[in-house]
């Protein structure tokens, strides 16, 4: 298992270098690590390690173990593991900067159990929604007297950095005060020193849902991400809450920081993830020249029904074909726990992709209706074809079927058709310029296709 991770991290570094242009001259190469089959296509897909019903307490190892069992048996390989209080409240609430030793064994056990089950982690240090986002309350277009921001303002009143007078009641001082930053670095260092050698931790996440409303917040991210790089070579990211609450210029400067290696977005405002996540993947990567992740995504209205998992299904396939590096489902509604069969959506994509690294394949869109996304390299082409009616926001589809559709792909060769839920090959045939999706898919909203050109 450990040798697989060396390949995984090498692929990520190549992926990042490809976004940022030619690499600078490097020192003489070291002996290569053992080579083994990479993990499933180097595409991270999984869930947040969050249990909404238990938000006032700590999630137990047995809950994590149950998640890992469901994930690994269905080809899911990634968890967003928050040590900022939402998964485990690791920072001592009475002594900011110090680790609460109550939870050290639990964190170790979760990481070890995840490694045994083939799960990789993004570890989160701080949560802006626990209080620091209140620093934006004096920005003219941010209303902290209603809705979500009202809750954040209330959270700040009891946030430990505030209640212990480290910030003198001013939330911006979480990002600027030397003593506060020294405590934050102490906490980061404690985590990296203790668990940084765990090869199943593949990404560090500085903060959950920070608002990019002030330059001081960008400067904090710059300083903290540079500090992490003195401790660990692993990629660093952060996440921002609601781009409509962030200043576009400040947000752009945030993602331009050299030591933030991956851009990230949380998406809940979409009724058609098949279109929107693909567009986010392609546009964000083009704008920032960095890999893109979705640390959270889910139903537009938390708790809304999605018994067939269409929202999850579309998100997975669109993110992969859009060239995103990975995504983690926010399962607090809780669709997956209430209906474990929905984990099959991970399995279908995982089986279709196998262990190939697709990061160097060319990505393109052939059609909007039906949706046809394409990956290609050399003689191989992959397609995802989805009916224009097969999405969560369409409650009354007339015929969400792709059976019988003709797709003009040019060339000729052999084509295989796959069920996107089971990942199983359905049929194989030859084609000349145009391929026709077989009748098996007459009542199915999408199909996966693999082409070998002659």
Tell which residue, 88, 19, 74, 79, has the closest CA to residue 47.
79
* Cα–Cα distance for residue pair 117/280, rounded to 1 Å: 31
- At which residue do the structure tokens 């199983």 appear? 424
* Cα–Cα distance for residue pair 330/342, rounded to 1 Å: 14
Do 342 and 445 reside in the same domain of the chain?
Answer: no
Q: What is the CATH number of the domain that holds 407?
A: 2.60.40
pLDDT at site 25: 43
**Domain tally for the chain?**
2
Do 67 and 44 reside in the same domain of the chain?
Answer: yes
Q: What is the CATH number of the domain that holds 76?
A: 3.20.20.80
Tell which residue, 203, 197, 237, has the closest CA to residue 44.
203
Do 232 and 305 reside in the same domain of the chain?
Answer: yes
Tell which residue, 11, 12, 6, has the closest CA to residue 30.
6
Residue pLDDT tens, the chain, 454 long: 555 554 555 555 555 555 555 444 443 333 333 222 333 447 999 999 886 545 556 678 999 999 999 999 999 999 999 999 888 999 999 999 999 999 999 999 999 999 999 999 999 999 999 999 999 998 877 888 888 889 999 999 999 998 777 788 899 999 999 999 999 999 999 999 999 999 999 999 999 999 999 999 999 999 999 999 999 999 999 998 655 568 889 999 999 999 999 999 999 888 899 999 999 999 999 999 999 999 998 877 666 778 888 999 999 999 999 999 999 998 654 567 778 889 999 999 999 998 888 988 999 999 999 999 999 999 999 999 999 999 988 877 777 899 999 999 999 999 999 999 999 999 999 999 999 999 999 999 999 999 999 8
* Cα–Cα distance for residue pair 47/41, rounded to 1 Å: 18
Do 191 and 320 reside in the same domain of the chain?
Answer: yes
Using the 3D structure, point to which of 310, 333, 353 is the last residue of a domain. 353
CB atoms within 10 A of CB 110: 26
Do 175 and 217 reside in the same domain of the chain?
Answer: yes
pLDDT at site 52: 57
The vertex-291 CA angle with 34 and 296, nearest 5°, equals 105
Does residue 27 have a cis peptide bond before it, meaning omega lies within 30 degrees of 0?
Answer: no
pLDDT at site 303: 62
Do 119 and 185 reside in the same domain of the chain?
Answer: yes
Do 245 and 386 reside in the same domain of the chain?
Answer: no
Tell which residue, 8, 3, 13, 101, has the closest CA to residue 291.
13
Do 61 and 197 reside in the same domain of the chain?
Answer: yes
Do 26 and 106 reside in the same domain of the chain?
Answer: yes
What is the residue range of 60's domain?
Answer: 2-353
Do 312 and 386 reside in the same domain of the chain?
Answer: no
Do 208 and 77 reside in the same domain of the chain?
Answer: yes
Do 333 and 416 reside in the same domain of the chain?
Answer: no
Using the 3D structure, point to which of 330, 353, 376 is the last residue of a domain. 353
Using the 3D structure, point to which of 319, 353, 387 is the last residue of a domain. 353
* Cα–Cα distance for residue pair 178/209, rounded to 1 Å: 22
């Amino acid at each position: 298992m450990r040798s697989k991770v060396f390949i995984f991290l090498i692929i990520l570094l190549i992926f990042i270098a490809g976004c940022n242009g030619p690499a600078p001259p490097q020192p003489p190469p070291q002996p290569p690590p053992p080579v083994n089959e990479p993990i499933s296509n180097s595409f991270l897909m999984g869930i947040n390690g969050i249990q909404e019903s238990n938000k006032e307490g700590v999630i137990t190892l047995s809950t994590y173990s149950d998640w890992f069992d469901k994930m690994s048996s269905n080809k899911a390989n990634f968890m967003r593991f928050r040590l900022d209080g939402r998964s485990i409240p690791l920072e001592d609430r009475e002594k900011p900067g110090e680790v609460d030793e109550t939870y050290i064994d639990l964190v170790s056990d979760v990481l070890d159990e995840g490694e045994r089950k083939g799960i990789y982690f993004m570890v989160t240090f701080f949560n802006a929604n626990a209080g620091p986002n209140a620093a934006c309350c004096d920005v003219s277009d941010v209303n902290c007297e209603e809705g979500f921001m009202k809750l954040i303002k209330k959270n700040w009143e009891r946030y430990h950095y505030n209640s212990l007078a480290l910030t003198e009641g001013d939330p911006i001082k979480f990002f600027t005060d030397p003593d506060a930053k020294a405590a934050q670095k102490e906490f980061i260092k404690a985590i990296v020193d203790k668990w940084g050698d765990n090869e199943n931790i593949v990404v560090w996440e500085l903060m959950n849902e920070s608002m990019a409303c002030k330059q001081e917040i960008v400067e904090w991210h710059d300083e903290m991400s540079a500090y992490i790089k003195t401790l660990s070579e692993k990629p660093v990211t952060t996440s921002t809450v609601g781009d409509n609450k962030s200043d576009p210029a400040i947000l752009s400067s945030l993602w331009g920081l050299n030591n933030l290696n991956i851009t990230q977005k949380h998406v809940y405002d979409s009724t058609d993830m098949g279109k929107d996540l693909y567009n986010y993947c392609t546009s964000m990567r083009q704008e920032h020249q960095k890999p893109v992740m979705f640390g959270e995504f889910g139903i537009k209205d938390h708790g809304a029904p999605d018994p067939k998992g269409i929202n999850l299904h579309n998100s997975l396939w669109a993110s992969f074909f859009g060239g995103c590096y990975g995504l983690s489902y926010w399962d607090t509604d809780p669709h997956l726990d209430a209906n474990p069969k929905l984990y099959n959506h991970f399995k279908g994509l995982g089986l279709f992709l196998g262990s190939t690294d697709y990061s160097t394949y060319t990505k393109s869109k052939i059609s909007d209706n039906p949706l046809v996304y394409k990956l290609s390299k050399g003689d191989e082409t992959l397609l995802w074809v989805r009916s224009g009616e097969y999405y969560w926001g369409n409650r009354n589809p007339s015929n969400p079927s792709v059976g019988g559709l003709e797709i003009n792909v040019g060339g000729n060769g052999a084509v295989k058709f796959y069920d996107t839920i089971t990942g199983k090959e359905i049929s194989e045939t030859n084609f000349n310029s145009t391929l026709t999706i077989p009748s098996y898919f007459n009542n199915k909203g999408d199909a996966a296709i693999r082409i070998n050109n002659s």
